[in-house]
Structure 1
Amino acid sequence: MIDFVKKLQEEIAKESDRVESSKDNDYIKLSLEMSHVLADAFDRLKEFIISYEFRSEEEEIDFFKDVKPRLFCKLIYYRKIYNIEMLRPVASVNRQKEYLNNELDTINKYTNKRLDFIRYFRSGATYLDKLYFLRGQTDTEQYLEAFYYELDPQFSTNCDFKVARILANDMLHAYLMSEIEKLEYEHRPCGIQPFPETRLTYVGPKNLLIEFIYGFDTEGYFGNVPLTQVASYIENVFNVRLDSNLSRAFSDMKIRNNPTQGLDGLKDALLRRMQSWKRKKKK
């Protein structure tokens, strides 16, 4: 199973890079094509799992608690982005902000209705995993979600869809906040677009810069300015174009095995350099 899932994830990542590089900032086209890519991958995963025999309950729990939701959440996310952008009003800034805030309210209502389960999942608890993430279990107290892909009991459990929805909502929340920040910044009377006099071109991994941007924004190192302004500044200073959808990049960071792999790699490189310098000093 591990090999199949890994290969599928690699194919999705490759297709994601292709789609994002070709669609620029057109969220409607991007989300529609990514929905097709992910739906196809999901169907292939479903076909594989139905014919696959899990080696243990632990492996089955891991699949339905972690593997499936982390793929499924992206499908939910892109389909929701498509619907949000298709219905987004071509209207004033205030009307658009009202619309986006209503979408945030929908996410908050979903969260508030499922606080007990969300606390269980986010805490890393495991004592109810057999009830929640093994097939064939019956739990009449669980709120039943209706979704096309959940119709087959061979490919669903009581709560794997809930986990996927929670992860998708995390991504959607970041996306909506980013869009609201863009509207606020782009329509400021005195908005400043900083362009440095001398540009050096950054050639390192983009995910490292994105980790830095979110770190700077979290600590407020540039003051009380929108995240998009910080990102714009970094892009101009380093003469590089980052992922146009920072919210999606941040959501991807959160579900990686190592969320800060770029920063960790930079730290390791710096420590190696220091150790090399110390060795040279001793000679």
Structure 2
Amino acid sequence: MEIVLSKILSKIHHQEDKLSSQMMQMVDEAYQMTLFLNEMLGTIKAKVIKDNFANEQQEIEFFKNIKPQVLGKLIYYNKVFRIETSCPVSNGEIHQSYYENLLKALKSEYKESICNEDFYRYYRAGRTDRDHTYFRLGQINYHDGLKSGVFEIDLSFSTYYDNKIAYIIANELLYTYMITKINPEINPDMIMINGDTNKDISWTNSQNALIELIYALYASNSIAYGKIGIRKLALIFQVLFQTPLNDIHHSFHRMKTRAGSRTAFLDQLKISLEEYMDKDL
């Protein structure tokens, strides 16, 4: 059995683009994406249970990188739907304070329930030494004093820690979403080109390529003399290209240890530019 991450992400992005092009309200878009992702997750689950994994590495890859992307977005869109259907007004101070309070609650949850955990530090550091324990079925150690949510998961389709990554991804996306709600100057709905939205401006390379570019600009102090933090810089690019970037910190740590060139996209940019220059000679 093989489930390819790039194909899964491509299907998700295609559905997001399809719904975005229909110019529907965010509450409707979130609802439709919730249905779409729930069905996708169900299909993947049936395939996993039926065919099983070819080897240990395939199992680890699925529960560490593939399933959390689908489940994370499902959690995200479901929360956005709940947020939007509970919003008391459509604008004004009450509207602003509503999202500010949600953001404070999200930050509080992060500090109390996520960032202090050993697993969170393991994941953020891009480590792999305990992957065989965290991302294989039947490896749960109840002596670790796990939270009661462990008893609510389907142990035939979860290692428990894949769910934790999914919530990290969902919270990253929610943080970006609420920031754009609180700061209308960087709200995607406010970015206009010739009276139209920027729906035709899309990032058509991989997410890793965009993350590589963002970090390069950040590290070189090329924007605002380096006074803009990496999170805000990533937010600007997400808004510009209308593409969520899932967990940029973890992706960056993986780049640091990947085989071959660690700056594959930047290397290709240089080659492409030089080839383009040569055409004019």
Contact 1:139 1:158 in 2 (8 A): no
CA shift in 2, pair 1:20/1:261, >3 Å: farther
Cα deviation digits, residues 35-55 of structure 1 (max 9, x gap)? 111111010001001112212
AA aligned opposite 1:14: H
Cα deviation digits, residues 70-129 of structure 1 (max 9, x gap)? 111111111011111111121663322322122222322332222232211010112222
Cα deviation digits, residues 129-154 of structure 1 (max 9, x gap)? 2222111122222224379xx63211
CA shift in 2, pair 1:102/1:146, >3 Å: farther
Query: Separation in 2 of the partners of 1:7 and 1:79?
Result: 22
2:84 is the alignment partner of 1:85: yes
Q: Any unmatched runs of 5+ in structure 2? A: 256-262
Contact 2:202 2:243 in 1 (8 A): no
AA aligned opposite 2:97: E
Query: 1:1-283 to 2 correspondence within 5 Å?
Result: 1-2=1-2, 7-24=7-24, 26-90=25-89, 93-112=92-111, 113-115=113-115, 116-140=118-142, 141-145=145-149, 151-182=153-184, 206-207=202-203, 219-220=223-224, 249-251=243-245, 254=248, 266-274=269-277, 276=278
User: Which of 91-100 and 44-53 deviates more?
Assistant: 91-100
CA shift in 2, pair 1:194/1:261, >3 Å: farther
Query: Separation in 2 of the partners of 1:175 and 1:162?
Result: 20
The count of residues paired between Structure 1 and Structure 2 equals: 250
TM-score, normalised to structure 2, is 0.70
Secondary structure at the counterpart of residue 207 of structure 1: coil
Q: What's the offset of the Cα at 1:218?
A: 8.6
Contact 1:135 1:154 in 2 (8 A): yes
Contact 2:76 2:174 in 1 (8 A): yes
AA aligned opposite 2:58: E
User: Which of 67-76 and 246-255 deviates more?
Assistant: 246-255
Q: What's the offset of the Cα at 1:16?
A: 2.2
CA shift in 2, pair 1:91/1:53, >3 Å: closer
CA shift in 2, pair 1:29/1:4, >3 Å: same
Query: Separation in 2 of the partners of 1:91 and 1:82?
Result: 15
TM-score, normalised to structure 1, is 0.70
Contact 2:150 2:160 in 1 (8 A): no
Query: Separation in 1 of the partners of 2:23 and 2:107?
Result: 30
Q: What's the offset of the Cα at 1:246?
A: 5.6
Query: Separation in 2 of the partners of 1:39 and 1:194?
Result: 33
AA aligned opposite 2:105: T
Contact 2:3 2:62 in 1 (8 A): no
Q: What's the offset of the Cα at 1:205?
A: 5.5
Q: Any unmatched runs of 5+ in structure 1? A: 187-191, 232-241
Q: What's the offset of the Cα at 1:220?
A: 3.0
| Identical pairs, percent | 28
CA shift in 2, pair 1:213/1:93, >3 Å: farther
Considering only aligned residues, what root-mean-square deviation do their CA atoms show, in Å?
Answer: 4.4
Q: What's the offset of the Cα at 1:158?
A: 2.3
CA shift in 2, pair 1:62/1:172, >3 Å: same
Contact 1:132 1:159 in 2 (8 A): yes
Contact 1:174 1:251 in 2 (8 A): no
